[in-house]
Each structure stands twice: as C-alpha cells, then as structure tokens.
Structure 1
Amino acid sequence: MENFVVSARKYRPATFDSVVGQHHITNTLKNAISSKHLAQAFLFCGPRGVGKTTCARILAKTINCQNISPETEACNECESCRSFNSNSSFNIHELDAASNNSVEDIRNLVEQVRYAPQTGKYKIYIIDEVHMLSNQAFNAFLKTLEEPPSYAIFILATTERHKIIPTILSRCQIFDFNRIRIDDMVRHLGSIAQKESIQAEPDALHLISQKADGALRDALSIFDQMVTFSGSNVTYKATVENLHILDYDYYFRLTDHLLEQNLPGALLLFDEILKNGFDAHNFLVGIAEHFRSLLVCKDVQTVQLLEVSDNIKAKYAEQSQKSTVSFLLSGLNVVSTCDTNYKSSKNQRLHVELCLMKLAHLNAALSFANEGADVKKLR
C-alpha cells in the first residue's frame, strides 16, 4: 500500500515527446526554445486532465536546462534538472490560485519576482487554476505581467478561459489544449498495461477511453480502478460490469427486435435494463447514438467517424446492412422527440415505452407509405 503510486502520477510525461495528443503545442514550445523566441507569459487553456500543468512543468524544466539535447529536450543530468526532479529547485515556483487567490498572495509573488535567480537563467512561475484569482488580484498582477524582468517567465493554466479578464489575456501567448482522442488514449493505456504486465482487451481499453470523455487523467484513474477490480486481466465484460455501463450488446439486441417488429422483445429488454439499475433517459440517449452509428456505417467514407474497436465496428457494419436509411432517420426523429419531452413527462417509463412501440411499428408504417406512393404513381 505504501509503495503504490497511481498511474496518472507514475507515468506522468517528463519530456515533450512523451506528452499524449498535444503535438501542435509541444512542437511550438520546442521551436520557441530552440529559436530563443520565448514569450514572457504563456496561458494554457483546455479541459481537465489533458496535460496543461504537465506541459508547464516540462517547459519550465527545459528552459533552465544547461545542456538541452538536439531534440530540444531536458538532459536530466545537469544541476538544474536534478534539482527539478527532486522538487528542490529555487527557480521554479508553482502556485495554486484556487487556494491563494487574494491580493496579498499576488503581492507576495510580485515581491519575489524582483530578485534575480542565483543559479540558472530564468525564474519560472507556474500559476495553476488562474481563473480563481479575484479581480483585485488580477489587477495587482497586471503591471508585472506586462513588464516583467528579463529573467522572469509566467506560465498560467486554466480550465475556464472565459473567466479571465481581457487585459490579462492580451498580455499572454495563448495555447488551446485539445481533448485527447480515443485512439491516442487506447495506445497510451496499452503501453502502460504492457509495462505493468497486465493483460488488457482492446475492447476494454476503448470502453475506458470513451468513459473518460477526452481527459487522460480520468482514463488512467478508471484503468487503475479496473486493475484493482479484476487483477492483471482486464476484460471487456469486467469493465462493463464494474463501470456500470449500458453495453453495446443491449442496443444491438434492441435494434434486432425493432427491425423484426418484435414489440414484446423490445419492452422486455427495456424492463431488464431498468431492473439492472440503469437510467431510462441514458438508455434513450444511447438508442439515438446507436442509430447514428448505424447511419454512419452506411457509407465507407464515414465509417472512420466511429470511435470504437474493430470488433464492435464489424458488428455495426453487419447490422447497418439490415437497416434501411428511412428506418434509421425516422427512428432518430422519434427518439429525438421523446428525448425532448422526457423531463416534462409525468410517467417517464410509459413515455419511453411509447417511443419503443412507435419504433417497433416503424417499418410497417414506412412500407405502408411506400405502397400508397406506388398506388398514386399507377393512377
């Protein structure tokens, strides 16, 4: 227990090249260091868990490195790198603006900036969650941010850029971090599983990555949870069970029932889903996503829009051949209407069941409409 370190900390990137899914930012920062075009203030924006603070630390470490490699990476051997790695560097200061957001805290920081570094070239100030600073604190910080000493560099990080006053934004070089793509997450989780000697099914890693919703730190936390739950063999079935996710299999079975106009089968499946503790509204949203995926599979060019594993993609391709475009578009329309009115419905279960009844008779209604159109043409 004492020796355990969570994956998010154990495998935190230490070089620009090891940062996952932010190549547009790491390449720009490396070029700025190699060409010596460093800004006085950087602002890193983006959702949680995508590498803002990590990139700030790597940038701070590399700027002060005394033997930067030809690939513009820190050497990890010089005095500056060693002191950074042991958390004892006097030139790199990290401030959490969430808990130090008053004018006094910023005045103390401004006071520190006046003193030049004793060793090394730069003093770097990393201010995390900078949007939490009060307006008075922002105003106290303005002058220093606009005209800092030549040796001072500020790196600000935030998840909520819109809360930062425009006068601060205009003084910073702004970098927008992307959500991490599912394929990048799956590769990263796969490499960690290999290093830890853990057998992980690709389908399970895809499911973890989708659940993380673009945040790599969340994906690593879920991965740790799954390893704790199922040991050194992370399976798709165990992941579905532990994370309490509505499995793709439910939607494939439901669509088969709807295509066969098997209303009792669809209603019994919905009852089974409710008994397993799933939310009816999430089930409804899942039907719309499933129909959208089937529609995407209708064309070879749009199949790449599906962010699922190859096994699941093959299932989608097979079922999309059985479904007509008319059925899927009309089904999406019915589900969308049901979703819109779900919150205002007094009997929400009946509301979803009525939607399933309409979907089950959709093929019959479409064929009846087609027959009517053919009769009109004959006349």
Structure 2
Amino acid sequence: MSSPHGVSERVRSPHERTPGPTGTGPQPAARREAYFDNVKYLAIVLVAVGHAWEPLLGGSRATQALYMIVYTFHMPAFILVSGYFSKSFTARPDQLRRLVTGVLVPYLVFETAYSLYLRWAGGEPDQPLSLTDPFYLTWFLLALFVWRLSAPLWLTLRHPVAVALTVAALASLTPGIGGDLDLQRVLQFLPFFVLGLVLRREHFELLRRKAVRVLAPVVVLGALVVAYWAAPRMKNGWFYRADSAQEIGASGWTGPVMTLLLFGCALLLTAAFLAWVPRRRTWFTVLGGGTLCGYLLHGFLVKGFAYARLPELYPWLRSPAGEVLVTLGAAAAVTLLCTPPVRRAMRGVTEPRLAWAFRR
C-alpha cells in the first residue's frame, strides 16, 4: 500500500505517466493506463484485507498462511509500481512541489490524525504526538518521500538493485537503527522501489505471455503449501520489515538470508499477481485513481475494529464464516473509500494545491 498528487506534467513517454497515488500527480482519464490503475486497486484491496485479518490471527492456521502470502507481496507490489512511476523524477521544482503537497502534507495530516485517534478511541490518552515516528500505515508516505528524493541517485548507479539489496541486508542485522522515520522499513523495502525504477515496459509485457499466466496459479498454490507449513514456525515480524533480525528474536546472520529469501518470494508472487491483473478497463479501473484515499482512510476502520475488541466480544468472527465476512467487509469498505466522491471530498488534504507556499 499506495501517493502524491498535484499538477500534471507533460507525458514524455509511457514510463513517465504517473497515475494515482503511486505517481507524481493525478492525470486525465485519457492519459491513464487501465492496467496500472487495476493493479493499484487490487493491491489496495489486499492491503486492507491483510490489515483486517490482523485482529483475527491466532484462531486458524489457514488464516495465518493466507496472511503470510498476502504480506509477502502486497506492499512489495505497491512499492515496485511506485518506483516504476518515479523514473522521471529529477527533482525539478514542479516535481518537488508535487512531492511536498502529495506525499509530505498527507503524511503530516494523517500522522497527526492517527495519533489523536489512538488517544481518543484506542484508550491511550498519553500517546505522544511525534511526526518523526510514523504510526501504523503512515510509514509508507514517509518512505515514499525519502525513496523518491533518492531516485536520481539510484538511476546513476551501475547495479542499483544489488546495492539496494546490500543496504537492506545490512539494515536487517543492525538493531541500532531507531524508530525515527521508520528507517528499518525505508531501508528493507528499498530494493522493491529501486527495482521498479529500473524496470521497463517490456518487462511488464513479458507477464502477458501464456506460459507466465499458466505458471502463476502454480506459483501461488506452491506458496500456499509452504505458508501453511511455515505458519506455526515463522514470526510475522519478518514480513513487516520494521525490525532487525535480533529484535525479532533471531540470530543476526539470519537477517541477510531472510532479506534475500523474502525478496525472491515477493518477486515470484508479485509476478504471478501482475500476470493476472486485467489490462482492459473494468468497473474498478476508475478506483485506481483513488487508492491514496483508500489506503489512508481504511486504517481508521481497521483500528476501530481492533480498538473495540470485536473479535474478543464476538469469537465467531474467528470462525471460517466470520473470517469470510471480515474479508468481504474490508474489501467493500476500501472500495467505497477509493470512489471519486470520496477522493473529491478529501482533496484538500490528499491533493492540496498550496500555491501560496511556493514561488512561481
């Protein structure tokens, strides 16, 4: 999960089109690509569903396995697409303005809002308000801000993905990295953003091949088998990339190993996911332009679900029928939050102009 908006720039090539929250600005429907809007919508549904499953964990090994599958690739897929649409970022003044108004300002607004929500609804009135320690899902906006600023640097390197993987591996065995700026996540998810920067259109075209589409379900089925086996044996902390190996409770050397292993698993599942995303316009294509709202707003519903302790009050929610109900509810809620009316209503904080703050 997801997202700067601002003044559209001239489309120079397909690589520089930046639709929706993973790009650098909203674009007219005629200049948007249905495929990537479909990718963003389906990815944000997986993000919301994965978050909704968190309060239900512990009741079913199958649910834990599905949770592990989703968390292996849903954010890597979102981040990879974010990197792909950051190719044209060269720190021009207009791009910096969009980065501030479309990423930094929403981060500041929603980081404050979630901290106050925790005080009011979460029963923690002493929760400090810190704009440098991201709470819950706001970390992605701060990470995207940092990643995009560094994009020109990565594009000058000869082997940027290898360097980014080395950085991520070193971060995974460095417990001294603090919580400020959620730097562990920024560094450990970095390879997916850098990979997106170096991908070209033909790489996505490869996923259209029949052989890839046939193999995709096989990959997912194999992942489900592995996840079901690993569910009682593996800690979820590995998927969050928020801690070093030592902080998760493992030996330091396992950090780089898991970094490479999870990177490979995420790429396989992301490729399988992207191979089956429709390339034509569908009923949900228009929702791809509103995934920033879906991402930022669905967290209030998910946290409210957890703060109210509904799974403890209603244990049947952990039954198969309850889990299906929660899944459908999360998917429906985030779908509504991605609709154009919600996007228009939230434009003041997700796509602010702030012309007064910048020089002409």
TM-score grouping bracket, smaller chain normalisation: under 0.3
| Structure (1/2) with the larger helix percentage | 2
Give the number of the structure with larger relative contact order, counting CA–CA contacts within 8 Å between residues 6 or more apart. 2
